[in-house]
Structure 1
Amino acid sequence: MKTGLENMVRTVLMASMISMAFPFASAYAAAWEDTGNGWVYVNEAGERLTGWQQDGGQWYYLDENGLMKTGWIRDDGKWYLLDSSGAMMTGTVEDEETEYQFSDAGDLTSAAKKKNEGGGSFPIGFYTEIQQEFADSLNESKQDDGEDRDKTSDRDDDSPFDYDKDKAFVIDAVLQRTAEHRLEAALANGYLNSAVTGEGTIDDYYAANLPKWKSKRHMEIYISNTYDASTAFDRLMARHSETKKKRVDRAVYYSRAGIAVAEKKGRLYFMIELSR
């Protein structure tokens, strides 16, 4: 399925081809206007444009009221980051502790702790407070488990080697989208015996939608009917702590994660997708 941005790219390309075929056609005109409540992008008829729009080689996103967005947005299940000017970010973007990777189309591919910073928790810009609290606990447990693989005694500050790769999870965009989708489906249709009603287990989901991921080592954890992130994390560790005999049953065995949280009737529900 094409995202809104991908469809817009196709539209722009088609428009360019039409312009070349009909060089005397009138040029499309649009302009930015400051409303006092935010910026809008209006066409030559004075109508506010919405959705993804391109100007000066940059992509911008305008909400249903035509107001330009900044910061994190979610569109068609994918996360995008718009800078303070509204322009869509691509490539590598860093803040103090986190390194984000974006595709050429602008959608997030991963968020990770900066290399050689000791591992552990790190801020994930598009997470809610509850998601962040849960992710912090998960990453701190990963950090503790990774201490016995610490290679800091051999550290060369000029080396590109990631000494802390075993001390924090990478938030993977595919796992994040999967967690968000699976949680929404579970709340709508039910979840029993590790399966979403009408959709099946995570193996079934990968086989039908992401066949390359089915061959990866992975685990899905659904935590229902709880009040806070701390209790949810305790329940996860009770089932998947580092003391489990099989490594694949330990949450800290995995290296990549996606975490979704939703509230229903005053209770919290979590879907965690892990992979290695």
Structure 2
Amino acid sequence: MAPNGAAASNGAPAPRTRARQRARDWAEIQERMLVPLYEAVYQRLEVGPATSVLGLGCRSGLALLLAAARGAEVVGLEPEAELRSLAQDRSLRVLSDVYRELSPAGGAGWHAPAHSLVTAFEHLSCTADPAALVRDAARLTVPGGHVALATWGPSERCQSTAVLQVARRLSDPLRRARYAPFTLSEPGAVERLVADAGLRLGGGGLVCCPFAYPDLDSAVRGLLAMGVFDAAADHSGERQVRKEIAEALHPYLREDGSVRMENVFRYTVAERVG
């Protein structure tokens, strides 16, 4: 095994080095692509000084920063240490485990403080157990508060679909079924999660979130930072994954060398009624 910070034997970065690179690329390149989604949810729910926001899977925290700029009280949960560190560098309160770290005594039976808005902007589409995530979000929301869930929109309206297929194609065949980013985009999928968590559906919407990059290298780095290609890189090698992502991006290259893909994301709002 390569030491931390050293290159692996196949020429790829060591896991910790790769994680740091991915986190930085997410914060500097990819995260801003979802700003229209964040703002649409905040406008819909009139987020402001009376709102307490908990971001589940908040990554490097841009969505929390936007909520804080509206006057909201914000806290985040991010299990990945490198992303959590970047969020904390932005003076955000971001924890690795809401239940453990917010508990004053860590005792059994303690309940985490509830919030008037709990969001899952990026985490829902990639978590291994979406139903558990939505149930946790419901438990962390005050009665009368809201849960906001985000997924990819219909695959036929997302030009990034072909690029995301690289992640599935180059992953271990025994694990491919675990990554299906558009499963929750199917009609009724999120609604079932909402109902099973005891929440009341409160509407939602579609938001255009173009993925736009100044050049091909930035596009590859930004997409890799999403985390969905990590299993493919582990199985097929990072060099092959980069090559195939670049090939999938060629239809979206512009004459000036920039890259732009039109995408649609969907958000769903639910209310905790009791």
Q: TM-score range by the shorter chain?
A: under 0.3
Compute the TM-score of the two structures, normalised by the length of structure 2: 0.27
Structure whose residues are more often helix by fraction: 2
Q: What TM-score, normalized to structure 1?
A: 0.26
